């Protein structure tokens, strides 16, 4: 049996993960799901620890992992999210955040039809450095003279490995996105790592864009992108824009990867969405397509393709949740996908 750790988490996480797991079960691939049901905000509020060392070890020793969402309005402190999702990303060194954005159906695009059709790109976001390490501090906090510092960290090792990964998965072009005209030091390092990787892949087309221009292009002409590689914060934002032009936050999938170890933590791009939690109206497609990425990485490429195809058909036929204009609840939307496998 192949053990898959499952963290349903908070808000709509358990609702969408249930549909993802049922869909994976449909393929009868001998996957053994190990549910860490206690990793959530309730546990954190009771004990101050949501993810213990044993939990991290349990996830690390599994073949791969599936996550719903972490986040709860009752928890004010960023320490909670940091203690779960960022801890998993950092402790398991999941330095690649892989976020494909491919239009599932013409009906979903907010863009002009002729521009929408071929949106098919991947944002590769550096996942362990940048602005999200928590490095920094506040001087004279709370007063009118406060100075807040959040350090934007880029190391040569961290940058080179994620840029190399982008070249290894691109089909026709790698577009490196930074803001080197204003953020000089990190920008320079990213540029050097990108040029070195480009020289090793002379057959791959390359492009460089500043993040402001890339965000604009993602809306005006997203069809021109293949693989975008960028740092943690720019990747966070750009991939949300990409998911919006590809059909909406409820459909976007992602993988947190360590390619050397062949380990992945798969999760929908959306968060816990507390406004709709517990109502069975959340769209399960982001979670289901994340499970599809998991299948592909386990080598089940035919099953992964069948899953994508079934999702696209359900969406095109309007068998979806209200966020995509369909009449179905979360369970029925999951069933609609499984019925088309």
Catalytic residue flag (residue 132): yes
Binding site for ligand ATP (CB under 6 A): 12, 16, 69, 71, 249-250, 270-276, 282-283, 286, 323
C-alpha 53/C-alpha 49 separation (Å) is 10
What b/e sequence results for 5-37 when a residue is b if at least 16 CB atoms lie within 10 Å of its CB, and e otherwise? bbbbbbbbbbbbbbbbbbbbeebeeebebeebe
Catalytic residue flag (residue 150): no
Residue 175 binding target from ligand ATP, Mg ion, none, CB below 5 to 8 Å by type:
none
The least distance separating Mg ion from the CB of residue 254, rounded to whole angstroms, comes to: 13
Q: Which residue has the tokens 């719903």?
A: 68
Choose between 69 and 92: whose C-beta lies nearer to Mg ion. Answer: 69
Q: Confirm or reject binding of residue 248 to Mg ion (CB under 5 A).
A: no
Q: Confirm or reject binding of residue 271 to Mg ion (CB under 5 A).
A: yes
Element (H, E) at 205: strand 205-210
Query: Per the residue annotation, which of 44, 98, 132, 266 is the catalytic one?
Result: 132
Choose between 259 and 268: whose C-beta lies nearer to Mg ion. Answer: 268
Catalytic residue flag (residue 203): no
Query: Per the residue annotation, which of 164, 240, 329, 332 is the catalytic one?
Result: 240
Choose between 20 and 69: whose C-beta lies nearer to ligand ATP. Answer: 69
Residue 275 binding target from ligand ATP, Mg ion, none, CB below 5 to 8 Å by type:
ligand ATP
Q: In DSSP terms, which residues pair with 121 in a beta bridge?
A: 101
Choose between 123 and 197: whose C-beta lies nearer to Mg ion. Answer: 123
Q: Confirm or reject binding of residue 247 to Mg ion (CB under 5 A).
A: no
Query: Per the residue annotation, which of 32, 48, 106, 212 is the catalytic one?
Result: 212
**Phi, psi for 325 (deg, rounded to 5):** 85, 5
The least distance separating Mg ion from the CB of residue 92, rounded to whole angstroms, comes to: 22
Across 86-185, the runs of DSSP E, i.e. the strands, are 96-102, 120-126, 136-139, 147-150, 173-178
Query: Per the residue annotation, which of 44, 72, 179, 297 is the catalytic one?
Result: 179
Query: Per the residue annotation, which of 10, 236, 297, 323 is the catalytic one?
Result: 236
Catalytic residue flag (residue 152): no
Element (H, E) at 255: strand 253-258
Q: Parallel, antiparallel, or unpaired for β 147-150 and 136-139? A: antiparallel
The least distance separating ligand ATP from the CB of residue 144, rounded to whole angstroms, comes to: 30
C-alpha 288/C-alpha 308 separation (Å) is 9
Give the Å distances, CA to CA, from 254 to 124, 209, 221, 250, 257.
10, 23, 22, 12, 10
Residue nearest to ligand ATP according to CB distances in the complex: 271
Give the Å distances, CA to CA, from 59 to 53, 96, 149, 253.
10, 17, 33, 20
Choose between 259 and 284: whose C-beta lies nearer to Mg ion. Answer: 284
The least distance separating ligand ATP from the CB of residue 19, rounded to whole angstroms, comes to: 10
Catalytic residue flag (residue 332): no
Give the dihedral sign, CA 296/301/302/305: positive
The least distance separating ligand ATP from the CB of residue 285, rounded to whole angstroms, comes to: 7
Choose between 161 and 308: whose C-beta lies nearer to ligand ATP. Answer: 308
Give the active site residues.
132, 179, 212, 236, 240
Q: Which residue ranges make up the site for Mg ion (CB under 5 A)?
A: 271
């Amino acid at each position: 049996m192949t053990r898959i750790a499952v963290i349903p988490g908070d808000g709509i996480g358990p609702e969408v993960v249930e549909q993802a797991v049922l869909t994976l079960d449909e393929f009868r691939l001998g996957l053994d799901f190990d549910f860490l049901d206690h990793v959530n905000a309730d546990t954190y509020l009771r004990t101050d620890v949501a993810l213990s060392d044993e939990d991290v070890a349990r996830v690390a020793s599994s073949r791969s992992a599936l996550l719903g969402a972490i986040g709860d309005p009752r928890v004010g402190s960023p320490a909670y999210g940091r203690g779960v999702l960022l801890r998993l990303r950092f402790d398991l060194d999941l330095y690649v955040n892989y976020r494909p954005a491919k239009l599932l159906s013409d009906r979903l695009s907010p863009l002009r039809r002729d521009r929408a059709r071929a949106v098919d790109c991947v944002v590769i976001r550096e996942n362990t450095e940048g602005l999200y390490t928590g490095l920094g501090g506040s001087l004279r906090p709370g007063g009118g003279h406060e100075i807040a510092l959040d350090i934007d960290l880029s190391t040569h090792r961290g940058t080179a490995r994620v840029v190399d990964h982008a070249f290894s998965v691109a089909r026709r072009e790698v577009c490196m996105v930074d803001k080197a005209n204003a953020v000089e030091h990190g920008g320079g390092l990213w540029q050097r790592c990108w040029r070195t990787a480009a020289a090793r892949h002379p057959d791959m087309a390359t492009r460089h864009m500043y993040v402001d221009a890339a965000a604009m292009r993602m809306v005006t002409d997203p069809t021109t992108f293949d693989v975008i590689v960028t740092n943690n914060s720019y990747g966070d934002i750009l991939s949300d824009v990409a998911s919006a032009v590809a059909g909406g936050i409820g459909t976007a999938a992602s993988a947190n990867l360590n390619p050397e170890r062949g380990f992945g933590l798969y999760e929908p791009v959306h968060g816990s969405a507390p406004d709709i939690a517990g109502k069975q109206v959340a769209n399960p497609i982001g979670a289901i397509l994340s499970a599809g990425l998991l299948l592909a990485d386990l080598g089940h490429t035919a099953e992964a393709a069948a899953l994508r195809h079934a999702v696209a058909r359900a969406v095109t036929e309007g068998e979806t949740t209200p966020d995509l204009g369909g009449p179905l609840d979360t369970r029925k939307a999951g069933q609609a996908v499984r019925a088309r496998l």
